[in-house]
Structure 1
């Protein structure tokens, strides 16, 4: 049964490869020596769950909703054929074939707090058939989403991005292709802002931010992310926003709406962006966690902080009312406020650490 336009067995093979298992093959009744992983290919496993099972010899993995065993990690010298037959038959965990294996559910094998995606959630283990395919893909897509991000990415993009990710997977479009398309739009928006063509520029910018959501989700659900692709994507995200704001300021002069102090405003939006990113790095270095995951309020503030998407929203609203110049002034003011807020949070964290070790609210 296909999922994201590939066989479920292929998705499982990719998950096994990421878990360090390079000799995956369909079960053929043979009994190899040494530890052995047995997994039903009609299930879709969270990649972190496959990795967790691979590190736990002697474990029997149960499906969470009904407790039916679907995978096992057999220790060395264990008899594999009876276990494989029992897994394929859907036998209960009490079947004698599973004797000696410790039953575990997904939450027993994986830390529920995902630092990389800044969220807390259960690893998925989903039954895949014709009737569940859509629900499986949506669950996987949701699992690929960051928990702490801006409001547009979190609340506006998911539904359309899901459909585009589906289409990209079906057409064989890779995450790096999507990232490259977003890079082109970075320069298109930059040029349009610089000549004062606000609405075409905003359209290019918003489509770029949408593709920035698509590429990461496409990489995660199809298990095709690479270190190079990750660097490529994050480098674009990191570098381009302040240059968009400078181009906007230049564009205001180009159409006869110059700001009173363009150099000062430019220094604020550019320097403020750099300062925010440095503050985030400082917090991470001091407290070993990202600044936006410490308290619930910090995660909420990340929805609206003066980063690319909220800033684009500010510019779009003011442009709608015919005042792109006021939009840039509002962006500058919001940037200053965001910098000050992060200074306060950093100081508060230092004081709190004197009383007890810091812990993200997402860790539960």
Structure 2
């Protein structure tokens, strides 16, 4: 059944005469985030109830349409009903709601309607009370026929509240808002849920900060964990209100990376090293900007390919220059060793991710601890800094090559042990093979075989 989203941007807040749906959020507006959430959840049709045009609304619509999201505007309740098809399911957003994408995903996965997402009555007047113990969490999944009937029967009544009351009276199922797993695989950590109803600009700014905090990835190397986040967050905050897209930031990052390669190749070693160190926080900006804005692109995954090209290109350039000045092929060999082990470790990790649905670095406590100090682009080039201070560039390159090899073999140990655990848990035939092929002198396998 097709999915339609019903959004609101017409109730002015008493403090600033701005509709709650048009409060600024992470550089743009609340209703834009709702529209992007709906589009990502599969909504093919979006309807925004807004009784008058405003510069803020027109700007929001222009940005959405520039991304291929084309909402229709309903100037009154009757128009909203006419724009809703009877054979669709309608996801209703409370006006001004700032919510987590996982909540909407959980809601639209429900096969039946009506469904209301609810929260305990904690006294937050921003969320409408349903009964003595619960409040509406701002999301509902309703049949299109219900929305059309309500819009035609009640004239100019508040459509949002009337839909809520009608759904409650019809015996709508209730879904707790906090019944959602906190762990997010692609961020490699538990991410707190966001569900807020800002009533002024200060509260919407706090919501924007919460969304930016959500965008932070976990399970990182030590520079990305301890040095980069404040720099990344500062740059993201500067970019949020601008038209600069994550893809543009990715392109800038690639340009800086190739400038570093050129500097290494031509003997400007300190310039190349400083650019490579700056590349660390810059490389995290595009992803954070995309996750905070919900502005994703199908080309986003190419960033990881560009990262590897830049990293390996820097090793080749550095090896080539050091080889030419040293008069032997040793640095070329070091470049080859570094790249070979780093690439093998990356391919191994990608296979594990595709096979198990989880990244090897995040598969257990020890894997996460090792990830903090494992050899990656950031740690490789920070390792080079003390050698560079004393002019021992080739010695630093030797250390990087050893670092790359050690990281690979440690990762390979984790790979085999974790793959074995995964197979024993999820693949009964493999578990049985392990039992049958066990060496007699080894202790018996205690794990039960299903």
Query: Alpha-carbon deviation of 1:343?
Result: 1.5
Give CA deviations for 1:308-336 in whole Å, capped at 9, x if unaligned.
11112111232234322222111111111
**Is the aligned partner of 1:62 residue 2:110?**
no
**Equivalence for 2:254:** 183
- Residue 216 (str. 1) matches residue 287 (str. 2): yes
User: Counterparts of 2:423 and 2:48 in 1: how far apart (Å)?
Assistant: 55
Q: After TM superposition, what 4+ stretches of structure 1 lie above 6 angstroms from structure 2?
A: none
Give the counterpart of 2:140 among 46, 59, 72. 72
Tell me if the contact between 1:44 and 1:125 (Cα under 8 Å) persists in the aligned partners: yes
Match of residue 165 from structure 1: 236
Equivalent residues, number? 351
What corresponds to 1:51 in structure 2?
A: 105
Q: 1:10 aligns with which of 17, 28, 32?
A: 32
Alignment RMSD, CA only? 2.8
Query: Does residue 37 of the first structure (1) align with residue 91 of the second (2)?
Result: yes
Deviation at 1:6, TM superposition (A): 1.1
Greater mean alpha carbon deviation, residues 115-124 or residues 233-242? 115-124
Distance, in Å, in 2 between the alignment partners of 1:181 and 1:268 is 29
Distance 2:257 2:284 in 1: 14
User: Structure 1 residues 355 and 54, CA, compared in 2 at 3 Å: closer, same or farther?
Assistant: closer
Q: 1:357 to 1:55 in 2, by over 3 A?
A: closer
Deviations 1:36-64 (A, max 9, x none): 22212312122232232233332212357
Q: Kindly indicate whether the alpha-carbon contact (under 8 Å) linking 1:58 and 1:102 is maintained by their aligned counterparts in 2.
A: yes
Contact 1:249 1:258 in 2 (8 A): no
Which among 185, 201, 204 is matched to residue 130 of structure 1?
Answer: 201
What secondary structure is seen at the aligned counterpart in 2 of 1:309?
helix
Give the Cα separation in 2 of the matches to 1:264 and 1:49.
Answer: 51
Unaligned 5+ runs, structure 2: 1-22, 50-75, 125-133, 428-450
The residue correspondences of 1:244-283 to structure 2 (distance < 5 A) are 244-254=314-324, 256=325, 261-283=330-352
CA deviations 1:22-80 (Å, max 9, x no partner) are 32222342444343222123121222322322333322123576553122111354365
Tell me, in whole angstroms, the C-alpha distance in 2 between the residues paired with 1:97 and 1:285: 42
C-alpha distance in structure 2 between counterparts of 1:340 and 1:327, whole Å? 20
CA 1:222/1:259 → structure 2, altered by over 3 Å: closer, same or farther? farther
Q: 1:12 to 1:190 in 2, by over 3 A?
A: same
Whole-angstrom distance in 2 between the partners of 1:248 and 1:272: 17
Distance in 2, matches of 1:72 and 1:354, equals 40
Q: Deviations over 1:73-126 (max 9, x none)?
A: 1135436568x949559x9x9x67623123323332x44332222222233212
Residues 149-184 of structure 1, C-alpha deviation per residue, up to 9 Å, x if partnerless?
322223322222222112212221111111111111
Partner of 2:406: 337
Taking the aligned partners of 1:235 and 1:354, their CA distance within structure 2 comes to 30
| Larger Rg computed on CA atoms | 2
Question: Hey, what does 2:362 align to over in structure 1?
Answer: 293
Change (3 A) 1:282 1:219: closer
Q: Structure 1 length as normaliser, TM-score? A: 0.86
> Are residue 25 (structure 1) and residue 47 (structure 2) matched?
yes
Residue aligning to 1:361: none
Provide the rounded CA distance (Å) in 2 between the counterparts of 1:62 and 1:202. 52
Contact map agreement 1:243 1:270 (CA 8 A) in 2:
no
Q: 1:75 to 1:155 in 2, by over 3 A?
A: farther
What corresponds to 2:302 in structure 1?
A: 232
Q: Which residue of 2 aligns with 1:323?
A: 392
Contact in 2 for aligned 1:269/1:332 (Cα 8 Å): yes
Gaps of 5+ in 1: 359-364
SS of alignment partner, residue 103 of structure 1: strand
